[in-house]
C-alpha cells in the first residue's frame, strides 16, 4: 500500500470516529435529558434550594374515639393521626397547641357520616378539612400533611 492510500485510510478512520463520537454525544444528551454544560448550573441551583429547605417534623396525636352522625348513633370512628409540621424548630409551639387542636378535631369528626368517610376520596377530603382547620391554630408553623395511622369505623 502506498503512502497516499494509507493517508486516505487514516483520514477516513478519523472522520468515522468523529461522526460516531458526535452521534453518541447527541444521543446521550437526549437520553439523559441533561446537556453536560447545564449540569453545573443545575448543581448550583440545587445547592441554593438545599440551603432554604426547612426540616419537617412529625407530631403524633392521641387516639380519637367518636360517634358518627349516622341515624341511630350506632357507628363510631376510632382514628389515630400524626401531623407533619413544616419547621422542626417550632414543634414545641405546636405541642403547646395540642389541646386546641384536639378540640377542633373533636368538633369535626362527630359531624361526619359513614357514607362521607368510608371511601379513600372521603378520607382525603377529611384530611384536607382537618389541615385547613388546624393551621389557623398555629402561629409560627403550619401543618403540611396529616397521616392517618389508624382509621377504624364500626
- For the chain, give every domain's residue range: 3-52, 57-153
pLDDT digit string (tens) for 106-131?
A: 999 999 999 999 999 999 999 999 99
pLDDT score at 11: 86
Cell numbers found for residue 101: 387542636
Q: Are 79 and 109 in contact (CB under 8 A)?
A: yes
pLDDT score at 34: 53
Cell numbers found for residue 153: 369505623
Look at residues 29, 32, 65 and name the one whose alpha carbon lies nearest to residue 152: 65
pLDDT score at 121: 96
Report CA-CA distances (Å) from 102 to 44, 84, 98: 43, 15, 6
Alpha carbon 106 to chain centroid, angstroms: 27
Q: Which CATH superfamily is domain 57-153 in?
A: Band 7 domain (3.30.479.30)
Cell numbers found for residue 5: 492510500
Q: Does residue 142 surpass a pLDDT of 70? A: yes
pTM: 0.65
pLDDT digit string (tens) for 17-55?
A: 888 887 777 777 666 655 555 555 555 555 555 545 567
Least trusted range by pLDDT, from 34-43, 54-63, 79-88, 138-147: 34-43
Amino acid at each position: 500500500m502506498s503512502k497516499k492510500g494509507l493517508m486516505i485510510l487514516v483520514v477516513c478512520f478519523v472522520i468515522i470516529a468523529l461522526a460516531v463520537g458526535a452521534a453518541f454525544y447527541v444521543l446521550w444528551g437526549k437520553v439523559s435529558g441533561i446537556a453536560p454544560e447545564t449540569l453545573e448550573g443545575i448543581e448550583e441551583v440545587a445547592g441554593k434550594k438545599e440551603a432554604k429547605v426547612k426540616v419537617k417534623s412529625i407530631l403524633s396525636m392521641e387516639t380519637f374515639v367518636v360517634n358518627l352522625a349516622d341515624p341511630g348513633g350506632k357507628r363510631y370512628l376510632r382514628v389515630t393521626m400524626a401531623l407533619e409540621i413544616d419547621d422542626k424548630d417550632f414543634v414545641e409551639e405546636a405541642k403547646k397547641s395540642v389541646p386546641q387542636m384536639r378540640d377542633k378535631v373533636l368538633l369535626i369528626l362527630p359531624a361526619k357520616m359513614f357514607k362521607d368517610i368510608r371511601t379513600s376520596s372521603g378520607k382525603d377530603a377529611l384530611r384536607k378539612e382537618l389541615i385547613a382547620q388546624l393551621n389557623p391554630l398555629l402561629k409560627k408553623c403550619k401543618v403540611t400533611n396529616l397521616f392517618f395511622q389508624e382509621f377504624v369505623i364500626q
